[in-house]
Amino acid sequence: MLRTLEITATIALAEAPFHNLYFGHGFELSLDCFICERVGRTTFLTVGAERAVCTGDREHGGRHFAAARVAGFDVLSGEDRKTLHAVVQQWWAPFHDDKRKQSSKPIGPGWVRFELHYLCPEGERKNGRTSIQSNTGRPHSLTCEHCETVLARSEEVPTIVERP
């Protein structure tokens, strides 16, 4: 069965020195993988890639390709916020995860993590990165790892919704 998931994440920009904060073109998503028959696997997705990568587990050979892809990716930037909207397509089939003793679900309480990149204007203009994740507390401040300036705040939990 082909599933389509819509993911939305919004950050409120801080009034800080310009750091050119932007969303990266890859993200991590928790999915049930019918290839290694494990539930809740961290799956790496990259915009433009034909398939994703599942972390798998050592007993099944570790990382492997997964039948998922980014079908849409758009970032809307305003004066005070940035909103990312991604569409993920995943092939899914029912299975039973023997290790966790539970059955797979077409969509579950999964999580998503988006990486954000920036360039610190202080000193040597160093690159930096931070992230937002759906299963962490809110509100959450995103700070520069070089000058400790607050760049943005994650006030809303990123949403994952299955599209019919």
In contact, 95 and 34? CB cutoff 8 Å: yes
What pTM does this model have?
A: 0.89
Mean local confidence (pLDDT), 103-130: 87
Query: What pLDDT does 103 receive?
Result: 92
Quick check: 108 pLDDT over 80? no
**pLDDT tens digits, 119-158:** 998 867 899 999 999 999 999 999 999 999 999 999 999 9
CA atoms of 142 and 49, how far apart (whole Å): 28
Query: What pLDDT does 62 receive?
Result: 82
Query: What pLDDT does 133 receive?
Result: 95
Query: What pLDDT does 159 receive?
Result: 93
